[in-house]
Amino acid sequence: RRWRGSEWVWKMVGMSDMVALFNPGAWKDKERFKPWGPKEMERFAVVNPQAAQNIQALKNAGTISALGGLGGVGAGAAFFMNRPGTVNGRLFSMALGGCAWGIMGFLVGTNAASLITGTYKINPMKTHAVFTDWWRANGGAVE
Q: For 23-35, how does the pLDDT look when each residue is reduced to its tens digit (9 = 90+)?
A: 666 556 667 778 8
What confidence tier does 2 reach under pLDDT thresholds 50, 70, 90? low
- In Å, what is the CA distance from 59 to each residue of 1, 47, 90, 114? 38, 19, 36, 11
Is residue 20 within 8 Å of residue 89, measured between CB atoms? Answer: no
pTM for the structure as a whole = 0.70
Dmax of the chain from CA atoms?
62
Q: What is the mean pLDDT of the chain?
A: 82
Percent of the chain predicted with pLDDT > 90: 38
